[in-house]
């Protein structure tokens, strides 16, 4: 997405999709370079990544339950390949869905406000982690880590702004980041962030 010569954003992570009264979200937690030997087995066996993924799946399942009925996890911890510039990454995802009321289109604003901020950005508990982020960062993110998408009256699709290039007066700033937990390893988290920093070709 490109916005008025101010920023461009590209993101592999969908926020929510709504079609035929079904709302679906696809949390992504756990990334590894595909060239690492036995990469798929390693990322799926990593206890820290598994705990982080479990957390975000539980959070987003609860989030969808605010706006939908019959919420369920359809697929749990499957692996996708993502082309990241010159690299190929393996990304662990899950699929969660629920059923909306038939007049959901008239409540689209309420649905979005109930689900924001995106759980994969905030972590849990949302209110506490957002306050920590505000205190630690000390600046306004603006559009970065927000969501964008389209709504045509019948379908909605959206994604999270997590690969973000912003134009200032005399420079371009690339914004990216990652989630950390009490079990995070500094060097591993930093390398994962570097792996995710790329320019689409």
Supply the residues annotated as catalytic: 13, 29
SS (H, E, C) the chain: CEECCCEEECCCCEEEEEECCEEEECCEEEEEECCCCCHHHHHHHCHHHHHHHHHHHHHHHHHHHHHCEEEEEEEEEEEEEEEECCEEEEEEEEEEEEECCCCHHHHHHHHHHHHCCCHHHHCCCHHHHHHHHHHHHCCCCCCCCCEEEEECCCCEEEEECCCEEEECCCCEEEECCCCCCCCCCHHHHHHHHHHHCCCCC
């Amino acid at each position: 997405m490109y916005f008025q010569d101010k920023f461009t954003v590209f993101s592999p992570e969908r926020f929510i999709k709504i079609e035929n009264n079904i709302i679906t979200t696809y949390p992504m937690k756990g990334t590894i370079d595909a060239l690492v030997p036995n990469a798929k087995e390693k990322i799926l066996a990593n206890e820290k990544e598994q705990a982080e993924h479990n957390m975000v799946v539980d959070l987003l399942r609860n989030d969808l339950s605010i706006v939908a009925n019959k919420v369920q996890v359809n697929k749990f911890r499957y692996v996708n390949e993502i082309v990241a510039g010159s690299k190929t990454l393996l990304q662990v995802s899950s699929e969660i869905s629920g059923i909306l009321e038939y007049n959901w289109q008239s409540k689209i604003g309420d649905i979005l406000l109930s689900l924001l901020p995106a759980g994969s950005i905030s972590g849990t508990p949302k209110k506490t982690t957002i306050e920590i982020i505000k205190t630690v960062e000390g600046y306004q993110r603006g559009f970065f880590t927000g969501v964008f998408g389209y709504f045509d009256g019948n379908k909605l699709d959206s994604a999270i702004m997590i690969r973000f290039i912003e134009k200032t007066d005399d420079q371009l700033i690339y914004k990216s980041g990652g989630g950390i937990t009490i079990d995070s390893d500094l060097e591993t988290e930093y390398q994962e962030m570097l792996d995710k920093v790329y320019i689409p070709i």
